[in-house]
Chain A
Amino acid sequence: MATKAIQSVNAFVVKFANVNGSGSASANELFAKAILRMGVPVSPRNIFPSNIQGLPTWYEVRVSESGWLGRRGGVDLMVAMNPQTWDQDVKEVDPGGYLFYDNTKALPKAKFREDINVVGLPLTEIVNQAYTDARQRQLFKNIIYVGALSALLDVDPLVIAELIGEQYKGKEALLKPNLNALQLGRTYALEHLKCPLGIRVRPLKGEANRVGDKIFIEGNAAAALGCVYGGATVCAWYPITPSSSLAEAFQKYCSKLRMDKETGRNKFAIIQGEDELASVGIAVGAGWNGARAFTATSGPGISLMQEFIGLAYFAEIPLVIIDVQRGGPSTGMPTRTQQSDVIKCAYASHGDTKHVLLFPEDPYECFEMAAQCLDLAERLQTPVFLMTDLDIGMNQRLTKPLVWDDSRRYDRGKVMTAEMLDAGKEFGRYLDVDGDGIPFRTYPGTHPSKGGYFTRGTSKNAYAAYSEAGPDYKYNMQRLLKKFETAKTLVPKPVLNASKEPARFGAIYYGSTSPAMAEALDALARQGIYVNALRIRSFPFQDEIFDFVASHSKVFVVEQNRDAQLKTLLVNDAGINPASLISVLHYDGTPITARYITEEITQVVAALNVRPLVKKDKAA
Chain B
Amino acid sequence: MTYLAKPKLHHPTLPKNKVGFTRRDYEGKVSTLCAGCGHDSISAALIQAFWELDILPHRVAKLSGIGCSSKTPDYFLGNSHGFNTVHGRMPSVLTGANLANRDLIYLGVSGDGDSASIGLGQFAHVMRRGVNMTYILENNGVYGLTKGQFSATADKGSKAKRGQVNAEEPVDTVSLALIMGATFVARSFSGDKQQLIPLVKAAIAHTGAAFIDVISPCVAFNNHPGSTKSYDYVREHNEAVNRLDFWPNREAINVEYNEGDIISVPQHDGSVINLRKTHPDYDPTDRVKALEYVAHHAAKGEVVTGLLYLSADSEDLHAHLNTVEMPFNKLSEKELCPGAGVLEKINAALR
Binding site for B on A (CB under 8 A): 213-217, 225, 228-229, 231, 233-234, 236, 257-258, 260, 263-271, 273-275, 277-291, 293, 307-308, 311, 401-406, 408-410, 442-449, 452-458, 461, 465-467
Binding site for A on B (CB under 8 A): 2-3, 56-59, 61, 63, 73-74, 78-86, 89, 91-101, 103-104, 121-122, 124-125, 129, 317-318, 321-325, 328-329, 331-333, 335-340, 342-344, 346-347, 350-351
Q: Out of A404, A408, A444, A453, which one reaches B97, CB within 8 Å? A: A444
Q: Out of B96, B322, B328, which one reaches A281, CB within 8 Å? A: B96
Decide: B336 and A258 in contact? CB cutoff 8 A. yes
| Docked CA distance A291–B338 (Å) | 17
Q: Out of B74, B103, B350, which one reaches A216, CB within 8 Å? A: B350
Q: Out of B322, B337, B350, which one reaches A404, CB within 8 Å? A: B337
Given A265-B322, A285-B97, the answer on whether A454 and B125 have CB atoms closer than 8 Å is no
Residue of A nearest to B329 (CB): A290
Decide: A275 and B328 in contact? CB cutoff 8 A. no
Residue of A nearest to B2 (CB): A466
Q: Out of B80, B122, B336, B344, which one reaches A278, CB within 8 Å? A: B122
> Taking chain B's interface residues, is the majority helix, strand, or loop, or is none over half, making it mixed?
helix
Given A409-B333, A445-B58, A445-B103, the answer on whether A236 and B96 have CB atoms closer than 8 Å is yes
| Docked CA distance A442–B331 (Å) | 16
Contacts of A273 in B (CB 8 A): 92, 125
Q: Out of B73, B91, B95, which one reaches A454, CB within 8 Å? A: B73
| Docked CA distance A216–B103 (Å) | 42
Q: Out of B84, B95, B351, which one reaches A213, CB within 8 Å? A: B351
Contacts of B82 in A (CB 8 A): 453-455
Contacts of B57 in A (CB 8 A): 448
| Docked CA distance A308–B325 (Å) | 29
Decide: B328 and A233 in contact? CB cutoff 8 A. yes
A249 CB, nearest partner CB in chain B, Å: 12
Q: Out of A215, A263, A281, A453, which one reaches B122, CB within 8 Å? A: A281
A318 CB, nearest partner CB in chain B, Å: 11
Question: Could you write out 10 A-B pairs with CB less than 8 Å apart?
Answer: A215-B347, A231-B337, A267-B328, A269-B321, A277-B89, A278-B122, A285-B100, A289-B97, A444-B80, A445-B103
Contacts of A405 in B (CB 8 A): 340
Contacts of B99 in A (CB 8 A): 233-234, 269, 271, 282, 285-286, 291
Given A277-B89, A283-B96, A290-B329, the answer on whether A233 and B3 have CB atoms closer than 8 Å is no
Decide: A263 and B93 in contact? CB cutoff 8 A. no
Decide: B58 and A277 in contact? CB cutoff 8 A. no
Decide: A267 and B93 in contact? CB cutoff 8 A. no
Given A454-B84, A455-B83, A456-B84, the answer on whether A308 and B89 have CB atoms closer than 8 Å is yes
Contacts of A307 in B (CB 8 A): 86, 89
Given A286-B100, A311-B86, the answer on whether A228 and B58 have CB atoms closer than 8 Å is no
Decide: B104 and A444 in contact? CB cutoff 8 A. yes
Decide: A228 and B324 in contact? CB cutoff 8 A. no
Decide: B58 and A290 in contact? CB cutoff 8 A. no
A446 CB, nearest partner CB in chain B, Å: 7
Residue of B nearest to A307 (CB): B86
Decide: B343 and A281 in contact? CB cutoff 8 A. no
Q: Out of A260, A265, A278, A448, which one reaches B89, CB within 8 Å? A: A278
A254 CB, nearest partner CB in chain B, Å: 10
Contacts of B344 in A (CB 8 A): 401
Decide: A260 and B351 in contact? CB cutoff 8 A. no
Number of cross-chain contacts by CB at 8 Å? 227
B147 CB, nearest partner CB in chain A, Å: 19
Given A266-B321, A267-B328, A457-B86, the answer on whether A402 and B336 have CB atoms closer than 8 Å is no
Q: Out of A269, A282, A452, which one reaches B323, CB within 8 Å? A: A269
Q: Out of B80, B121, B347, which one reaches A401, CB within 8 Å? A: B347
B118 CB, nearest partner CB in chain A, Å: 10
Contacts of B317 in A (CB 8 A): 269
A107 CB, nearest partner CB in chain B, Å: 41
A448 CB, nearest partner CB in chain B, Å: 5
Decide: A445 and B104 in contact? CB cutoff 8 A. yes
Residue among A260, A281, A287 having the largest count of chain B Cβ atoms under 10 Å: A281
Decide: B3 and A465 in contact? CB cutoff 8 A. yes
Given A231-B333, A291-B328, the answer on whether A457 and B84 have CB atoms closer than 8 Å is yes
Q: A286-B97, A404-B340, A467-B3 are in contact. List 16 more A-B contacts (CB 8 A).
A: A214-B351, A233-B328, A263-B325, A269-B321, A281-B85, A282-B99, A285-B92, A288-B96, A289-B61, A290-B328, A307-B89, A402-B346, A445-B81, A454-B83, A457-B85, A466-B74
Residue of A nearest to B59 (CB): A445
Decide: A233 and B350 in contact? CB cutoff 8 A. no
Contacts of A228 in B (CB 8 A): 336-338
Decide: B89 and A234 in contact? CB cutoff 8 A. no
| Docked CA distance A37–B341 (Å) | 24
Residue among B61, B93, B98 having the largest count of chain A Cβ atoms under 10 Å: B93
Residue of B nearest to A234 (CB): B99
| Docked CA distance A196–B70 (Å) | 74
Q: Out of A258, A275, A288, A291, which one reaches B93, CB within 8 Å? A: A288
Decide: B323 and A266 in contact? CB cutoff 8 A. yes
| Docked CA distance A549–B141 (Å) | 60
A566 CB, nearest partner CB in chain B, Å: 30
Contacts of B86 in A (CB 8 A): 281, 307-308, 311, 457
| Docked CA distance A279–B85 (Å) | 14
Contacts of B339 in A (CB 8 A): 404, 406
A467 CB, nearest partner CB in chain B, Å: 7
| Docked CA distance A278–B323 (Å) | 20
Decide: B343 and A444 in contact? CB cutoff 8 A. no
Contacts of B340 in A (CB 8 A): 403-406
| Docked CA distance A267–B317 (Å) | 14
| Docked CA distance A274–B126 (Å) | 10
Residue of B nearest to A455 (CB): B83
| Docked CA distance A466–B89 (Å) | 20
Decide: A455 and B329 in contact? CB cutoff 8 A. no
Contacts of A213 in B (CB 8 A): 347, 351
| Docked CA distance A519–B57 (Å) | 62
Contacts of A458 in B (CB 8 A): 84
Decide: A284 and B93 in contact? CB cutoff 8 A. yes
| Docked CA distance A215–B332 (Å) | 28
B268 CB, nearest partner CB in chain A, Å: 17
Decide: A291 and B94 in contact? CB cutoff 8 A. no
| Docked CA distance A279–B121 (Å) | 13
A43 CB, nearest partner CB in chain B, Å: 15
Contacts of B338 in A (CB 8 A): 228-229, 257-258
Contacts of B333 in A (CB 8 A): 231, 408-410
Contacts of B78 in A (CB 8 A): 452
Given A225-B346, A231-B337, A234-B100, the answer on whether A452 and B81 have CB atoms closer than 8 Å is yes
Decide: A448 and B79 in contact? CB cutoff 8 A. yes
Residue among B81, B98, B332 having the largest count of chain A Cβ atoms under 10 Å: B81
Decide: B121 and A443 in contact? CB cutoff 8 A. no
Residue of A nearest to B80 (CB): A452
Contacts of A291 in B (CB 8 A): 96, 99-101, 328-329
Decide: B81 and A285 in contact? CB cutoff 8 A. no
| Docked CA distance A553–B248 (Å) | 78
Given A404-B337, A455-B83, the answer on whether A410 and B332 have CB atoms closer than 8 Å is yes
Decide: B104 and A282 in contact? CB cutoff 8 A. no
Contacts of B63 in A (CB 8 A): 285
Residue of A nearest to B128 (CB): A274
Contacts of A271 in B (CB 8 A): 95, 99, 129
Decide: B321 and A466 in contact? CB cutoff 8 A. no
Residue of A nearest to B84 (CB): A456
A619 CB, nearest partner CB in chain B, Å: 35
| Docked CA distance A468–B235 (Å) | 39
| Docked CA distance A403–B344 (Å) | 8
Decide: A215 and B350 in contact? CB cutoff 8 A. yes
Given A291-B328, A452-B79, the answer on whether A286 and B74 have CB atoms closer than 8 Å is no
Decide: A282 and B101 in contact? CB cutoff 8 A. no
Contacts of B61 in A (CB 8 A): 289, 444-445
| Docked CA distance A426–B29 (Å) | 21
